[in-house]
Amino acid sequence: MENLVMATPERSVVEAVERMTEAPSTAEPIPACTFQVKNLSIWYGEKRAIDDVTLDIASNAVTAIIGPSGCGKSTFIRALNRMHELVPKTRVEGTVFLNGEDLYSSTVDPAIVRRRVGMVFQKSNPFPTMSIGENVVIGLRLNGVRDRKFLNERLEKSLRMAALWDEVKEDLHKPGTSLSGGQQQRLCIARALAVEPEVLLMDEPCSALDPIATAKIEELIYELKAKYTIVTVTHNMQQAGRVSDYTAFFYLGRLIEFGPTTKIFTNPTERQTEDYITGRFG
Partner 1 sequence: MHLERADNHTWRKIKSALASTIAFVSAILVISPLGLVFFHLLVNGAGSVNWDFLTKLPAPVGAVGGGMANAIVGSLELLAFAGVIGIPIGVLGGVYLAEYGSARINSVLRFLADVLNGVPSITWGVVVYGLVVLRFKGFSAYAGGLALGLIMIPLILRTTEEVVLLVPNGYREAALALGVSRWKTIVHIVMKTASRGIITGILLALARVGGETAPLLFTAFGNRFWNHSLSQPIAALPLQVFTYAISPYDDWHRQAWAGALVLVTGIFCVNVLVRILTRGHAASVV
Binding site for partner 1 (CB under 8 A): 81, 83, 86, 111-116, 118-119, 121, 123, 125, 127-129, 138-139, 142-143, 175, 177-178, 188, 191-192, 195
User: What gap in Å lies between CA 257 and CA 243, rounded to an integer?
Assistant: 18
| Residues contacting residue 50 through CB under 8 Å, at least 6 positions apart | 40, 41, 42, 72, 75, 76, 79, 253
Residue closer to partner 1 (CB basis): 41 or 122:
122
User: What gap in Å lies between CA 243 and CA 246, rounded to an integer?
Assistant: 9
**Nearest distance, CB of residue 133 and partner 1, angstroms:** 14
**Nearest distance, CB of residue 90 and partner 1, angstroms:** 14
**Nearest distance, CB of residue 40 and partner 1, angstroms:** 20
Residue closer to partner 1 (CB basis): 119 or 277:
119
- Among 254, 267, 215, 210, which residue's Cα sits nearest to residue 238? 215
Angle subtended at Cα 193 by Cα 37 and Cα 136, rounded to the nearest 5 degrees: 140
Q: What are the backbone dihedrals phi and psi of residue 162, each rounded to the nearest 5 degrees, phi first?
A: -85, 10
Residue closer to partner 1 (CB basis): 116 or 263:
116
Residue closer to partner 1 (CB basis): 11 or 123:
123
**Nearest distance, CB of residue 62 and partner 1, angstroms:** 19
Residue closer to partner 1 (CB basis): 148 or 279:
148
**Nearest distance, CB of residue 227 and partner 1, angstroms:** 18
Question: Residue 237 half-sphere exposure, CB side, CA atoms within 13 Å?
Answer: 19
H or E segment and range at residue 145: none
- The answer to whether 261 and 245 have CB atoms below 8 angstroms apart is yes
Q: Which residues pair with 118 in a beta bridge?
A: 200
Rg (CA), the chain: 19
122 exposed, middle or buried (CB, 10 Å; 0-12, 13-18, 19+)?
middle
Residue closer to partner 1 (CB basis): 63 or 131:
131
| Residues contacting residue 145 through CB under 8 Å, at least 6 positions apart | 137, 151
**Nearest distance, CB of residue 206 and partner 1, angstroms:** 16
**Nearest distance, CB of residue 279 and partner 1, angstroms:** 31
Helix (H, G, I), strand (E, B) or coil at 112: helix
**Nearest distance, CB of residue 50 and partner 1, angstroms:** 19
- Number of CB atoms found within 10 A of residue 59's CB: 17
